[in-house]
Amino acid sequence: MNTQVSPSPQFYLTAPAACPYLAGQMERKVFTHLVGPRAAEMNDLLTQGGFRRSQNIAYRPACEACRACVSVRILANEFEPGRSMKRILAANAEIVSATGPAQPSTEQFSLFRRYLDDRHQRGGMSDMSALDYAIMVEDTHVNTRIIEYRRREPGAGLGVVPKGELLGVALTDMMSDGLSMVYSFFNPELEKRSLGTYMILDHINRTKALGLPHVYLGYWVKGSAKMGYKTRFQPQEHLTARGWEVFDPSTDA
């Protein structure tokens, strides 16, 4: 009997479930496990092929009658912020960020709960506990980092680890061709700051500084209001049946 473990990932298909983005639609997903010494390499390949990571699972839509979910990545080196985005950067000039290992904290979870209770009261994550949050952050076999965004304390100098109020958090995978924003959340009471947009702009700048080309934003769903913000960051590519292609915003009508 051959007991050798196959180096190739094994893929599985979920049962149909109600689509969280489009009313009346059913979704299915194909998924595999990201474990072992090749997990980071596999995460790169699968993300470039339209998969997303959640803990140690990589998945992508496999719906029978719908192709609305489209993988999106920003072309970081070609991106230039417009007027509204420059205003957002200026409005948040006092924010400082720090990158650390994928480790949860009570402070992060408190902000996470405030965000969920305000933005996603009926979503699949609405009942997440502190343990669930810790698993979401820590259960990774790839190069994952936590980026914390804080209000700069008066008198804090450069090179000092920021200790001001926590305003936002991003769980981010460091990949060979850029950064993949796995999940991010922020203080929902600071709506005028547009912190979600600010964190994406920060990831674009970080990717440029690394000399890498892409920021992966996950899936865009045309017709879903909660996904509409993703097409604001131009230029960007969408994964089609022909591969990654530059998206023409004029077609998003």
pLDDT digits (tens, 9 = 90+) for 8-60: 789 999 999 998 888 888 999 999 999 999 999 999 999 999 999 999 999 99
Say whether 59 sits in a helix, a strand or coil.
strand
pLDDT at 3: 42
Instruction: Specify the DSSP class assigned to residue 190.
Output: -
Q: Cis ω on the peptide bond leading into residue 235 (within 30° of 0)?
A: yes
pLDDT at 56: 95
On whether the pTM is more than 0.75, the answer is yes
Query: All domains of the chain, ordered by start, with CATH?
Result: 12-69 (no CATH), 73-251 (3.40.630.30)
pLDDT at 211: 97
Which of 238-245's residues contact partners 24+ apart within 8 Å by CB, and which partners?
A: 238/70, 238/71, 238/72, 239/49, 239/50, 239/70, 239/71, 239/72, 240/70, 244/73
Angle of the 195-209 helix axis to the 83-91 helix axis, nearest 10: 100
Q: What is the largest CA-CA distance in the chain?
A: 68
Find the helix or strand (DSSP H, E) in which 200 lies.
helix 195-209
The pLDDT profile of the chain, 253 residues, written as one tens digit per residue, is 344 445 678 999 999 999 888 888 899 999 999 999 999 999 999 999 999 999 999 999 999 888 899 999 999 999 999 999 999 999 999 999 999 999 999 999 999 999 999 876 566 677 899 999 999 999 999 999 999 999 987 765 555 556 789 999 999 999 999 999 999 999 999 999 999 999 999 999 999 999 999 999 999 998 788 888 999 999 999 999 999 999 988 776 5
